[in-house]
């Protein structure tokens, strides 16, 4: 606004610049008014298309759409204001540079927040967890109560509600995506006949193969290891999801009973004692 260029106030220049400014503002606003809804519709369409392709639930693709539209509006609004100010030579640069020191601190401080949202976005998009699934994430173990953009809520089995910021979720172990393993290790005495013990175990396994909770096996694998006082045999099967613990408990009970019937001992720790007299 060089209205004093030659040391004199120039009304013509003033008017000119006012008209010019008005025209510019109008143009900028026009472009904004045109671009804004087009972008919004585009985003909605893309999200919905992607959502259908990825088979996202309605609620989930709505969450993502709202998130992206929000970001879009903020960015566009910021551009609009910066452009308008720029028109009147209200230079933003020093301002922004001045704000830079504080901004740096904020940028670093807030990166955790962005990290949360980015991770949360992909957890939602890749459907890594759903509500009510049993997962291990961020060191917490339990049933998911809510998957948010910033925080995931996990209810531990002891009743605790854990708020896990998404950035602290590195690897998600989802325990509700397929049949689970039921595994029982059982020790027999070194004196027992291995073949006989395995036959007894397999008979118990055969009973369980009828169990409707069991999807595969169980079967006796063989000699897993030599313990200090026992020979460890392994029984392995697969069950429907979340039934693994109950099946394992029932397997253990039946094996103990079958061993009792067959007279096979689950040995206590053994020790060989050699006696010396003190004067030796």
Asked if residue 140 binds a copy of itself (CB under 8 A), the reply is yes
Q: How far apart are CA 199 and CA 187, in angstroms?
A: 14
Least Cβ distance, residue 206 to a copy of itself (angstroms): 20
The two beta strands, 161-165 and 151-156, are antiparallel
Instruction: For a copy of itself, give the closer residue by CB, 61 or 166.
Output: 166
Minimum CB separation of residue 81 from a copy of itself in Å reads 9
Position among 36, 48, 115, 141 found at the interface with a copy of itself (CB under 8 A): 115
Smallest distance from a copy of itself to CB 70, Å: 13
Applying the rule CB under 8 A, the residues between 46 and 65 that interact with a copy of itself are none
Number of chain positions touching a copy of itself (CB under 8 A) = 118
Q: Following CA atoms 131, 132, 137, 140 in sequence, which dihedral angle do they give, to the nearest 10 degrees? A: 130
Buried b (16+ CB within 10 A) or exposed e, 251-263: beebbeebbeeee
Residues 120 to 139: which contact a copy of itself by CB under 8 A? 122, 126, 128, 136, 138-139
Least separation in angstroms between residue 4's CB and a copy of itself is 4
Residue 135 pairs in a beta bridge with 142, 174
Smallest separation, CB 227 to a copy of itself (Å): 10
Sequence-distant (6+) residues with CB within 8 A of 47 are 61, 64, 65, 68
Judged by phi (left if over 0) then psi (alpha if -120 to 50, else beta), residue 266 lies in beta
Task: Return the residues of window 236-275 that contact a copy of itself according to CB under 8 A.
Answer: 238, 241, 244, 246, 249-250, 252-253, 256-257, 266-275
- The interface with a copy of itself within residues 183-212 (CB under 8 A) comprises 183, 186-187, 190-191, 194
Interface characters, 92-111, with a copy of itself (x: CB under 8 A): xxxxxxxxxxxxxxxxxxxx
Least spacing, CB of residue 145 vs a copy of itself, in Å:
10
CA distance 146 to 144: 6
Q: Which residues contact 131 (CB under 8 A, 6 or more apart)?
A: 144, 145, 146, 147
Q: With contact defined as beta carbons under 8 Å apart, do 215 and 225 qualify?
A: no
Instruction: Pick out residues in 20-49 that bind a copy of itself (CB under 8 A).
Output: 20
Comparing CB distances to a copy of itself, the nearer of 65 and 230 is 230
**For residue 223, which phi and psi values (nearest 5 degrees)?**
-85, 105
């Amino acid at each position: 606004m060089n209205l004093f260029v030659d040391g004199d106030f120039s009304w013509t220049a003033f008017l000119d610049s006012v008209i010019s400014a008005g025209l510019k503002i109008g143009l900028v606003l026009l472009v904004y008014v045109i671009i804004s809804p087009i972008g919004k519709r585009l985003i909605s369409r893309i999200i919905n298309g992607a959502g259908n392709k990825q088979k996202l639930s309605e609620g989930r693709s709505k969450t993502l759409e709202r998130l992206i539209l929000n970001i879009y509006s903020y960015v566009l609004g910021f551009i609009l204001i910066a452009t308008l100010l720029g028109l009147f030579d209200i230079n933003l640069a020093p301002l922004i540079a001045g704000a830079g020191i504080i901004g740096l601190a904020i940028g670093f401080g807030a990166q955790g927040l962005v990290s949360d949202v980015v991770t949360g976005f992909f957890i939602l998009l890749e459907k890594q967890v759903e509500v009510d699934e049993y997962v291990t994430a961020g060191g917490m173990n339990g049933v998911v109560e809510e998957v948010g953009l910033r925080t995931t809520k996990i209810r531990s089995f002891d009743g605790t509600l854990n708020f896990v910021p998404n950035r602290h979720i590195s690897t998600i172990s989802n325990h509700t995506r397929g049949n689970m393993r039921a595994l029982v290790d059982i020790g027999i005495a070194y004196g027992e006949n291995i073949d006989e013990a395995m036959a007894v175990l397999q008979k118990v396994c055969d009973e369980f193969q009828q169990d409707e909770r069991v999807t595969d096996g169980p079967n006796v694998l063989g000699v897993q290891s030599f313990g200090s006082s026992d020979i460890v045999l392994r029984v392995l099967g697969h069950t429907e999801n979340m039934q693994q613990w109950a099946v394992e408990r029932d397997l253990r009970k039946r094996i103990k009973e079958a061993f009792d019937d067959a007279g096979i001992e689950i040995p206590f720790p053994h020790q060989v004692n050699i006696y010396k007299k003190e004067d030796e």
